[in-house]
Chain A
Amino acid sequence: MTPAYAVELRELRHHYGDVVAVDSVDLGIVEGEFLTLLGPSGSGKSTLLMMIAGFLTPSAGQIFVGGRNISDTPPHRRDMGMVFQNYALFPHMTVAANVGYPLRMRKVPRADVRRRVADALDLVGLAGMGGRTPRQLSGGQQQRVALARAFVFEPKVLLMDEPLGALDKKLRQQMQVELKRIHRRLGVTVVYVTHDQEEALTMSDRIVVMRAGRLEQVGPPAEIYNTPRSAFAADFLGDSNLVTGRCAEHDGDLVRVEVADGRSLWARGFDPPDVDAEVTVSIRPERLHLAAPGSDPDALNCWQGTVVEKVYLGDAIRYRVETGDTFLLAKQQEGGPAAELDIGAKVDLTWAPERATVLAEPR
């Protein structure tokens, strides 16, 4: 029977003294999937990765790879390729020797080593660079060498610890595309650690949002972005307007929420809260539309407000609108109908109810 998961974590825990870094994590990683552990520093994502790699011994729980418990297997027998944040290239070896290192450790015949190193360097776009030393390469090139070295021995799992953290933005975006291409090509299971939400959204099949050693939310990027379960997830992935109120009534999966200043709004609630329960609603700034007062009388959600701040973002304009007791951020497309509003302008804020999400956990 083939195991359900390529990697499975069961009640994995790790604490440094009294400080719990990873708290009872259960997670199944599907074969061939690109899974991202996303969280702020201190959320336990790197600790989790280090336990999977075998550099940290779990305080409790087990790790299964291909159905086999590897919790007590030393790192060098785990057969996982890892790309470190600082690349960890061996400075005393050439690029080819670096990439060939895992093959030599596996006693691969020399001719095969040469061929596979050349293939791997070719795949990462560094054909013919084998004779250089890591020092002679740029940051992006070193990154590619580290990547080639991590997959050249065809490991079951590729682990990456913020591999693009040291690169500038342009190069990072380019490498994101590269990484996805190589992932598709190799079909290898990837566990990727980052604190960069954009990176997570771009590359992942599934994202695991981590907070204080626990899994906050697990799901495909669009699901987490559109239906965050908690204020933390909503805020960590992209910007979010969080509005707190009281659940007034249900209509299918739509919920009417009454806000303190007497107004109300409709939002989607997947686990419909009880009537009268306190709830928090997340509305993405780009889901809010600004229009002239009274221009859309049929809108289910329509709050009057005043523009108090305007920030030009290049491809969009972000307005801060005072409405009732609160301020909401609204991102409007540059060149669109709401691009020319001035500070002090009276506007109607409208949004589709299914674009606002009642969070499962109130703030």
Chain B
Amino acid sequence: MSEATAVEAPPRPRRRIRVPVVTLLLPIGLLLGAFFAYPLISMIVTSLTSDSGGLTLDKYREVLEVPTYATVFRITFEIAVSVTVATVLVAYPLTYVIVTGPKLLGTVLRALVIIPFLVSLLVRTYAWLVVLSPEGIVNDALESIGIGSVQLLYNRTGVTIGMTYALLPYMVFALYGNMRSVDLRLVQAAQNLGASEWRAFRTVFLPLTFPGIAAGSILVFILSCGFFVTPKLMGGPGDVMVGSLITTLVSERGQVEDAAAIGTVLLALTVVGFLVISRFVGLRSLLESRG
């Protein structure tokens, strides 16, 4: 009997609930609109508004003409470049070990990269202040091996160390995804064809990780440009970055229009830099599936 029913009952079509795509995108649209697009547009509008309320480019002229502003942009650029280079130099070998080394070691190292990431940047920065202070363990170690105490804080070195540390996970993540997609049999093939381990790495593995290096560098460079907590706490008076400048202009001097113009310039420079780099290294290869 039950068999008969089973045979007779046609497969019931599953009712599809049809929701317009627009409805599905509404929450994220509202969120981005309210907290991203609106502030951004209002920043640009503010930067173009004269004191009398009309349209003007005065603020931009000011940004270019006031030497302090230009200096801050130059310092920001220098710090961002050195931080980017430093993160590549630290993250590349680290990620290489995570990807190609023993599984357990890889897991431990990955945890060591990720866990601090979950702690507030402020807390981590204060931790560095302790570690790098003249009485900190780094200087203790340097003294015990006879190098002597080195000024590691409140200067460019301090900012670079702090920011490199803070941005290291981003570089590791970018490299990790890329290195994981490199077929290690290619390295074996290179060795089989006569390349020493080092040459196989240099001629095969390294070139195949250029997209990862580029992606990580762009990410770290852009994030560096907007940093202000670390340079403020770990840098000296000469290490004012654009982020700190904007904070000062808004909260201490009330020059909102100047701050808006500087912010817009920073945004424009970042976008241009991104486009230029991505044109050269072909970020598309990162998005393409490997064949």
Contact = CB atoms under 8 A, between A and B. Distances in A.
Nearest to B199: A105
Interface string B180-217: 00010110111111111101100110011000000000
Contacts of B197: 74, 76
A81 B200 CA distance: 15
A86 interface: yes
Contact of B193 (A54, A91, A153): A153
B185 A105 contact: no
A313 B200 CA distance: 49
A75 B192 contact: yes
A236 interface: no
Interface string A313-340: 0000000000000000000000000000
A87 to B, nearest CB: 9
Contacts of B195: 76, 101, 105
A153 B194 contact: yes
Contacts of A80: 192
Contacts of A153: 193-194
A82 B185 CA distance: 11
Interface in A42-100: 53-55, 74-82, 84, 86, 88, 90-92
B196 to A, nearest CB: 5
B237 interface: no
Interface residues of B, number: 21
Given A86-B183, A135-B291, A92 B192 contact: no
A74 B186 contact: no
Contacts of B204: 90, 92
Contacts of B207: 92
A12 B185 CA distance: 23
B102 to A, nearest CB: 14
Contact of A88 (B185, B194, B203, B291): B185
A95 to B, nearest CB: 15
A101 B192 CA distance: 11
B290 A76 contact: no
B290 A91 contact: yes
A273 interface: no
Contacts of B190: 90, 101
Interface string B8-25: 000000000000000000
A92 B185 CA distance: 15
A144 interface: no
A92 B290 CA distance: 11
Contacts of A91: 186, 208, 290-291
A264 to B, nearest CB: 50
A91 B291 CA distance: 8
Interface in B149-171: none
Contacts of A55: 188, 191-192
A189 to B, nearest CB: 16
Interface residues of A, number: 26
Given A92-B207, A135-B291, A76 B189 contact: no
Contacts of B186: 88, 90-91
Contacts of A135: 291
Nearest to B196: A76
A334 to B, nearest CB: 40
Contact of B185 (A74, A75, A84, A102): A84
A149 interface: yes
A80 B193 CA distance: 7
B191 A88 contact: no
A106 interface: yes
Interface string A181-219: 000000000000000000000000000000000000000
Contacts of A84: 185, 188-189
A75 B200 CA distance: 11
A84 B200 CA distance: 16
A134 to B, nearest CB: 8
B64 to A, nearest CB: 42
Interface string A105-137: 110000000000000000000000000000100
A136 to B, nearest CB: 10
Nearest to A152: B193
A74 B290 contact: no
Nearest to B204: A90
Most chain A C-beta atoms within 10 Å of own C-beta, residue among B188, B189, B190, B200: B189
B291 A74 contact: no
Most chain A C-beta atoms within 10 Å of own C-beta, residue among B190, B192, B290: B192
A45 B121 CA distance: 53
A88 B290 contact: no
Interface of A: 53-55, 74-82, 84, 86, 88, 90-92, 101-102, 105-106, 135, 149-150, 153
7 A-B pairs with the lowest CB-CB distances in the bound complex, closest first: A105-B194, A88-B189, A102-B193, A75-B191, A82-B192, A76-B191, A88-B185
7 contacts: A76-B196, A84-B189, A88-B186, A91-B290, A101-B193, A101-B203, A135-B291
